[in-house]
Amino acid sequence: MIGIDTLLAWGATYKKVTAGETIFSERQQCIFYHQLAGGSVRWVDINDEGKEFIHDFIQPGECFGEFPLFDDSPYASSAIANENSVVIRLHKSSFLQLLKEEPEIHFEFDKMLTQRLRFKFLLLKELACADSEHRISILIDYFKQSKKNICPKCNQIKLTRQQIADMTGLRVETVIRSMRHLHEKGEIKILKGKVYCKAI
């Protein structure tokens, strides 16, 4: 999202996090801009029963938890490391000053925010659809277009069935059954338990 050298020049620091560690929690006040330098992070809401609803999987180079940087509200969701990861953090005040002084970065940031909002609208629309196969197909199509969560070499979908369930609001058993039907229709390929989409 923002070049590492630029962030470091503005005073950013690295932070190592371990698998399962919470980087920030829902309703916590925002102090830093966060960008993933290595590893994997999920951005989630967690209900009272401990069930997660996954908003997105963050890949190296992407930022996360950016909304409170602009409206001074607490975090709306939590960020949890999927594996041992490295995050680069820049203090909120420095980040906002960076955007003021680097308009090209500001415009790129605005573009990224718009893309994430479009994804949210897409998910909300599809969650209203009762057809589970349709929900999963739409999610896979989005990943293909955005080149996220799909291996560019072999087209393997890099999410577990549980993670797809947590993103679509479906039960994992429903996802397993629906993906089997999609395989039978030729819309995806399942080989030795791994799921592959059609060529991007």
- Helical pair 161-168 and 132-146, crossing angle rounded to 10 deg: 100
Report, as an integer, the average pLDDT of 23-40: 95
| Pairwise CA distance, residues 89 & 61, whole Å | 12
Q: What is the pTM of this model?
A: 0.76
Domain ranges of the chain: 4-102, 129-197
| Best mean pLDDT range from 26-35, 50-59, 189-198 | 26-35
Going by DSSP bridges, is the β-strand pair 41-46/52-58 parallel, antiparallel, or unpaired? antiparallel
What's the topology of domain 129-197? Arc Repressor Mutant, subunit A (1.10.10)
The tokens for 190 are 């399942």
Q: For the domain 4-102, what is the CATH code?
A: 2.60.120.10
The tokens for 199 are 């060529």
pLDDT of residue 74: 93
| Pairwise CA distance, residues 63 & 70, whole Å | 14
Give residue-wise pLDDT tens across range 32-66: 999 999 999 999 998 888 888 888 899 999 999 99
